[in-house]
Chains A and B, each alone.
Chain A
């Protein structure tokens, strides 16, 4: 009796296309103390693509080593306040081996009255 059955080899390919983000990180990277990519590597990576737009800020935190932040954001808000906010919220979800990408939308509201 012939026990050999015919076998078929095939490959299914799925392709997903999307636009490359420039730079690949948007506003902030929160880098854990034992993350596989350190803050300096992250900064150098984006520096090649978007020179001098990001800054490393080392922080004192249990699991977070540093935040790499888009410099333009620091023109809108004072560094200390911004970093405190990022660390407070990021610290709730990060662990020391994670790298978290954060997007910040800052809206400034200004209202002035003038004498007529």
Chain B
């Protein structure tokens, strides 16, 4: 399941009053080791004070004169990926997590990065599949077309056996670099596992097919170490717009990935590089 901010938020935070002095807040920060303080007035958050403000502000100032508005309120059900997007887009220091119009937690970028680090594949540096689930859900919610390209390396176990696992790892790393470099900008790439990669696209089938061909060509034309010939096969699924009111997006996307992986296996069997599954009816897979 896609992780939510409620799973990682800091719950034991301390709020300060708008008339509290900076020196008092500094003392609390030092004593408790806290770096972020929501500033309250009439039971409402009017700003935040971070370590940055505590260093800059004169100790005689009140919180209202030291605080920053570099924060955004988010709902407790926001996904960690959406939280990351907010940090990047809004360039804020902190996210205040709300439930029933009350701040119940804080998310800092460092807390979020630690969590997101768990979703990054250590070998290739690509995101893992959770990233694809989140973005697929977002595309569906926004009424976009989606197609999923499932790509895997042909005979990768033979490469491992013949040239060793270190060599195999180097090839996987290079494949990841090539896929990342050649994927269209509005698509999302992840390492699904082993020698398998997924590209999520907001495209109709034909456009997804062109993108997949370009990716396969980029890999097959690249001069890998020891002059090892590396080719890949791909399965594509998509071809219809999904109902944005699908309630079980996770299940829907799981099924799409499964169908694409079977299509990729079929392509490998038939040595046809690409195998395409046109989705007939979303109700069959949802």
Contact = CB atoms under 8 A, between A and B. Distances in A.
Interface of A: 34-41, 44, 97
B65 A39 contact: yes
Q: What is the predominant secondary structure among interface residues of chain B facing chain A?
A: loop
B60 A36 contact: yes
Contacts, number: 30
A53 B261 CA distance: 70
Contacts of B56: 34
B65 to A, nearest CB: 2
Nearest to A38: B65
Instruction: Please list the 10 inter-chain residue pairs (A to B) with the smallest Cβ-Cβ separation, ordered nearest first.
Output: A38-B65, A36-B60, A40-B64, A40-B65, A36-B58, A38-B61, A41-B62, A41-B65, A34-B58, A35-B58
Q: What is the predominant secondary structure among interface residues of chain A facing chain B?
A: loop
B132 interface: no
Interface in B107-142: none
Nearest to A65: B65
B28 to A, nearest CB: 19
Given A34-B56, A36-B58, 9 more contacts: A34-B57, A36-B61, A37-B61, A37-B65, A38-B57, A38-B65, A39-B65, A41-B65, A44-B19
Nearest to B60: A36
B62 A40 contact: yes
A9 to B, nearest CB: 35
Nearest to B56: A34
B66 interface: yes
23 contacts: A34-B56, A34-B57, A34-B58, A35-B58, A36-B58, A37-B60, A37-B65, A38-B57, A38-B58, A38-B61, A38-B65, A38-B66, A39-B65, A40-B18, A40-B64, A40-B65, A41-B61, A41-B62, A41-B64, A41-B65, A44-B19, A44-B62, A44-B64
